[in-house]
Structures are given as C-alpha cells and as structure tokens.
Structure 1
Amino acid sequence: MNKVLTYVLLALAAASFLYPFVWMISASLSSEAGLGDLRLLPVEPTLANYRTVLERIPLGRAFLNSVFVVTVTTTLVLILGAMVGYALARLEFRGKQLLFFAIIFTMTLPFQITLIPNYITMVRLGWVDTYLALIVPFVMNSFAILLFRQAFMGLPQALIDAARMDGAGELRIIFQILVPNILPTVVTITILTFMGIWNDALWPLIVVRDESTMTMPQLVTLFSVGGRADSQLAVKIAAAVMLAVPVIILYLFFQKHFIRSMASSGLKD
C-alpha cells in the first residue's frame, strides 16, 4: 500500500509538471477561437500559427545566432571551468582558498547587480550589437568551476601522478586523463549552460539592437510583446514552443548522465 501511494503521489506530481507543456503544444496547434477550452487535444487543429511566426519574424536567422552563441559559450565554459576547477582541486598555490571562496561568493550575487557595469564595459569595448557581447560575459561560470572542482577532487591522486610520470603536461592531464572520467559532470554543465544561455532574453535585449544579431529568445520576446503577434495568443504560444523544443531534445538525449551527476555530486572540502 505504501508503494502504491508513493507511485500515485509521484504520478500526480509528474502530471502537474507535464500538463502545462502538453497544453502549450496543444494550444499552439489550435485555432485562436479554440483556446478558451483547456483541453489536452488541439481544437480545430492547424499549423497556421507556426506559419504566421515564420512569416513575421526572421526566426531562422535568430535560431542560427542562438546556436552559435550557445555552442561557443558552452565550449568555453567547459574548457575554462575544467582548467580553473583543476587548479583549485589539485594544485597548491598561495591564496587558493581565498580565490575559491570569492568564486563561491559570486554565485550568491544576482545577475541584475552586475548588469549595468557589464553593459558599460560592452559599450567601452565597442562590443554592442556583436556576438562578443553575448558570449564573453558568460564564459567564466562559477557553478561550472565548482562542479569541476568537486568532480576532480573525487578522482584518485594516483591517476594524476601516473600521468605526470609518463610525461603528461597539466593540460593533457585535464582533458585526456581526468575529463573522460567525469563525463556525467561534463554533461550536466553542458545542459545547464545550454539552458541558461539559450533561454536568456534580458541580456540580449540590452546589448543587441540589430535584428540580424538577435538571438531566438530575444526575438520571440519582442515578437510577443512588441506588437508583431497582433494579440494572437495562439501565435505567441507557437513561438514559445519553437523556443523550447531544442532544450527538450537536448535533455531527452542526455537525461541519464544528467540525473546520474545530480545524484552523485557530493561536496568535498
């Protein structure tokens, strides 16, 4: 009976999370008149909402911009995070603990606090309306550094010592010896970074005004609140579905590694 009750509660919890997504997809395939009923199946099924989105905004170019920005940013986060995390986990140098605590402290600061200083920096560097403004402020990720540090500390020191005896340098130790042994952590950082950059609309709205450089979340936001949707709710929902699909696909492919890393990521001193 306890097991049955547990599964019933879990099923209800899962349904409460899944229902908005299922309804969103159903609403995007419904006519505007059919949105009044909260049904799980489309009312008067149609693809006109998606055609309207593609006709009114250059979503293809925005999708490519987002893919480029996310790919470059995520790659740099993985490379730099692994290097800094390795240094904090395995190297000895003066001020290491102070540096680590400073990195942890930055995790407590909301992004809005650094919004204006970052924008002023982008203006002075002349990076407004460029991809650099969308990439550079996010390549050093404190959470990624923390996860890499904890993962590296969980590996045996003998593995590093053996690699050094074979003549391997520090970079080779990091990327050829250690990183292949912490793939769940790498996948977790990849998914979290991808989701964070892909869904970010606030920062692009501030630093990018040229439509040819806009990312997909930024363009969808402007489309929804800027008047191009003509107050058509079904069209706005269709744009939101197109924005959410890449993240859902990425998670479905890597969910096993993601869950494994979340379940095994204990913090070590």
Structure 2
Amino acid sequence: MIVAQSAASRLVVHTVLLAGAIVMVFPFLWMLLASATSQSEIFDGSLFPTPTVAGAIENYGRALTAIPLLRFMANGLIVCLAILVLQIAIAIPCGYALAKLSFPGRPLMLGAVLFGLLVPVQIPTIPIYIAIAKSGLVNSYAALILPWIISVFAIFLFRQFFVTFPDEVLDAARLDGFSELSIAWRIMLPAAWPAVASFSIFSVVAHWNDLYWPLVVTTDPDMMTPSLGIAYFRQSGEGAGHVGALMAGGVLVTAPLVAVFLLMQKHFIRGLVLGRH
C-alpha cells in the first residue's frame, strides 16, 4: 500500500514537472522553428511553423546583415565578462571578511548586504545616470559596467559558502605567514569554484539579457548590447514586421547562454546546494 502511494506520488510530481517543462520550453521551440521558416509561412494558421533551408538562409542572413548583431554580441561579451571579473574580485574578500573575520560593525554590514538584496535595481537609476552623464561616460563601456561591479548577491553567496569552511585550515595558513588577502585568494577562492560557477551563470544571464540599463545609458548602435540590439532591430526598417528574422536574432542571442548553462550546470547546482548551509 505504501509502495503504491509512493509510486502514485512520484507519478503526480513528474507529471507536474513535465507539464511545467513543456510550458517553459514551448516558446523557445516555436522561436527556433520560426527562425527557419519563411515570412509567408509563419502565419499560415498552423500552430508550429514549418522550417525550410531557404527560410533559414533568408532569416539568419537578414539578422546578421541588417544590423551589426555580431557587434552587439561582442559588446555583450565584453560587458558581461568585465562585470563578472570585477564582481568576483570585490565579492570574494568581502564575503570572506563577513564570514571569517571579527571586526566592529560586522553584523551591521551583513544587515546592509541583506538590505541591499531587497532594493530593486531601478531605484538608484536617476542619481547613477546623472553621475555618469556629468562624467561624460554615456555611450561607453564604463557606463554599462561600473554601476554593477558591486553585487550584494555575490557577497552574500560567497559569505554563505565561506561560513562552512574549516577554521583550522585558516589558522594553519596564518601560522604559515599568509595574510588575510592571501588566504582569501589562494585558499578560499579555489575551494569556492562551485559558488563562483553558480554566480557566474546568474551574473552573465542577468547582464546579457538586461534591456533596462543599456536603454538608459546607450543611444549609439555601436555600443548596444544583445537585448537592446534585438529591440533596435525590431524597430528598424529591416526588422520591423519580419518575424522570422527577429526569431533568428533571438536564437543567435540565446544560444550562448544555453551553451554556458549546459557546460556549467553541475557546478551551478552544487554551488547552490553548498551555499544553503
């Protein structure tokens, strides 16, 4: 009886998960099919577009030539990697200090980090934009990168990871003459690769897909990031109304994120599980 109930429960759970997976995957599947379907056949009344080689050549060719899509993706790569490196460079020592060092005001600083997690990114937009505009940094990589180099989420994630690290190892390192920064970079960082992988996926996906901030500080097409570039393509004469080409651009912009997640999914899951302690 218990075995039957357990099997029934698993069946219900897997059915619900499968239904949710279908709902999540369907838009991407439709985008992939539409990206290889000619414009005249996308709206022929069928639920699933019918891809053809000619449709794929037309749509992907238009997406790559009508706008500088590769330039947009290169901008996105530069911005995402720069933000990620600087976020980790700042978050590792901060997380280590909050987890393993005793100093006045540590609980207050941890509370400030937790409070920062609750603040929407849109709230400080106006003062940050004014500072960037007065500094003459609009339409530059600095405008796209600098506001994001401190991530309270990264600090909290690494702090949670470092809390579980044995204090005996740190004491032995101090006896061997390691400074606190050396401990953070030479001991804590190598042990925190799962957390680094988890945060890297969060950071890259968030800033690769970000439309809000690039829309605020970027007007030059040469400085647009992938999401803003797709929106620019949709409003331009070449892309307006051409659904197949827009879907092709969406596939090209989405594919790198899917590849990164598939390559790092084991580290991503492990980092989240370890960070819960």
Q: What band does the TM-score fall into relative to the shorter chain?
A: over 0.9
In the alignment, the residues of structure 2 paired with residue 187 and residue 45 of structure 1 have an alpha-carbon distance, to the nearest angstrom, of: 37
Q: 2:48 is matched by which residue type in structure 1?
A: R
Letter aligned with residue 163 of structure 1: A
1:133-159 Cα distance to aligned partner (Å, 9 max, x none): 111100100100000000010111111
Please state whether the residue corresponding to 2:168 is helix, strand or coil: helix
**What is residue 46 of structure 1 aligned with on the other side?**
56
- Return the alpha-carbon distance in structure 2 between the equivalents of residues 170 and 41 of structure 1: 60
Greater mean alpha carbon deviation, residues 31-40 or residues 229-238: 31-40
CA distance in 2, matches of 1:104, 1:217: 29
Cα-Cα RMSD: 1.7
Amino acid at match of 1:147: L
Match of 2:17 among 10, 15, 20: 10
User: Is residue 74 of structure 2 the alignment partner of residue 64 of structure 1?
Assistant: yes
- Equivalences for 1:174-253 in 2 at 5 Å? 174-253=184-263
Give the Å deviation of 1:45: 4.6
Q: Once structures 1 and 2 are overlaid, which stretch shifts more, 11-20 or 65-74?
A: 11-20
Equivalent in the alignment of 1:25:
32
CA contact (8 A) 2:60 2:249 kept: yes
**CA–CA separation in structure 2 for the residues paired with 1:131 and 1:232:** 30
Moved more, 122-131 or 5-14: 5-14
- SS of the residue corresponding to residue 47 of structure 2 reads coil
Mapped to 2, the partners of 1:221 and 1:180 lie a distance apart of: 40
Pick from 112, 117, 129: which aligns with 2:139?
129
Deviation (angstroms), 1:46: 2.6
Deviation of 1:86 after TM superposition, in Å, equals 0.8
Partner residue of 1:263?
273
Give how far 1:227 is off: 4.0
Give how far 1:179 is off: 1.6
Aligned letter for 1:134? Answer: L
Question: Cα distance, 1:259 vs. partner?
Answer: 1.4
Give the alignment's TM-score, normalised by structure 1.
0.93
Q: What is the aligned partner in structure 1 of residue 4 from structure 2?
A: none
> CA, structure 1 residues 260+41, in 2 after alignment: closer, same or farther (shift >3 Å)?
farther
d(CA) in 2 for partners of 1:22 and 1:163? 52
Q: Any conservation in 1 of the 2:80–2:204 contact (CA below 8 Å)?
A: yes
Which moved further from structure 2: 226-235 or 173-182?
226-235
* Equivalent residue letter for 1:92: S
Once the two structures are superposed, residues 171-221 of structure 1 have per-residue CA deviations (whole angstroms, 9 ceiling, x without a partner) of 221121112112111101111010111111211111122222222221111
- 1:215, 1:155 → 2: CA distance? 38
Q: Distance in 2 between matches of 1:6 and 1:201?
A: 35
TM-score normalised by length of structure 2: 0.91
Does the CA contact (< 8 Å) of 2:170 and 2:183 recur in 1? yes
- Residues 146-155 or 203-212, more deviating: 203-212
Q: Does the CA contact (< 8 Å) of 1:22 and 1:40 recur in 2?
A: no
Segments of structure 2 that go 5 or more residues without pairing to the other structure are 1-6
Displacement after TM superposition at 1:41 (Å): 5.3
For residues 90 and 193 of structure 1, do their structure 2 counterparts lie closer, same or farther at Cα, with a shift above 3 Å needed?
A: same
Residues 31, 234 of structure 1: 8 Å contact kept: yes
- Gaps of at least 5 residues in structure 1 are none
**Aligned-residue offset at 1:242:** 1.2
Structure 1 residue 23 displacement after superposition = 1.4
Percent of aligned pairs with the same amino acid: 34
